[in-house]
Amino acid sequence: MAPIPLDLITSRFSDRFNTVRSQSFGSRLSNLRPISEFLDVKRLSKPANFAEVQSRLNYNLSYFASNYIVVFCMLSIYSLLTNWLLLFVIILVTGGLYGIGKLKGRDLDIGIFRATSSQLYTALLIVAVPLGLWASPFATVLWLIGATGVTVLGHAALMEKPIEDAFSQEAV
């Protein structure tokens, strides 16, 4: 079996991810393309060959990057709204950590009940881990990766480049 050249694969993506990391979220969303351009049905077509698929992917992944971030966020919200138990566990853990943090190391005194911060963290852990595993976060994350990949890569592969960009890249 031939070894897979991981350097070759990762080096192609490192430049793209470095530019994404260097921008703030607000400036990233300022490049949002209009919905009429993003969902332009007239520009959808089947690519002729794999080279055209690669060309479209390279162009559209950078051109519509902000729109693809919005698609990912919308699918994330959808996945949480369809998995109520996972949403409850996230709110429970966030609220529990916030509430314990508000104590600032003091003990929680409720009538005759007294609990230290360590006991509260342990109780939160004992409740949240089984509930969290029952909420199937791994299946939700895998669904999110798959749905985002199919949506984004499908759109990028099927969306033609604008005519002015297609002619500007041809050699004279």
Please write the tens of the pLDDT for every residue from 130-166.
999 999 999 999 999 999 999 999 999 999 987 766 5
pLDDT tens readout for residues 22-79 = 666 666 667 788 888 888 889 999 999 999 999 999 999 999 999 999 999 999 999 9
Residues linked to residue 115 through DSSP beta bridges, in sequence order: 108
pLDDT of 2 higher than 60: no
How many whole angstroms separate alpha carbon 79 and alpha carbon 49? 34
Task: Over range 70-96, report the average pLDDT.
Answer: 96
> Alpha-carbon dihedral of residues 9, 10, 11, 15, nearest 10 degrees?
130
Q: What is the pLDDT of residue 3?
A: 63
pTM: 0.73
Q: What is the pLDDT of residue 110?
A: 85
Closest CA to 68 of 80, 60, 77, 58: 60
Q: What is the pLDDT of residue 11?
A: 62
pLDDT of 171 higher than 60: no
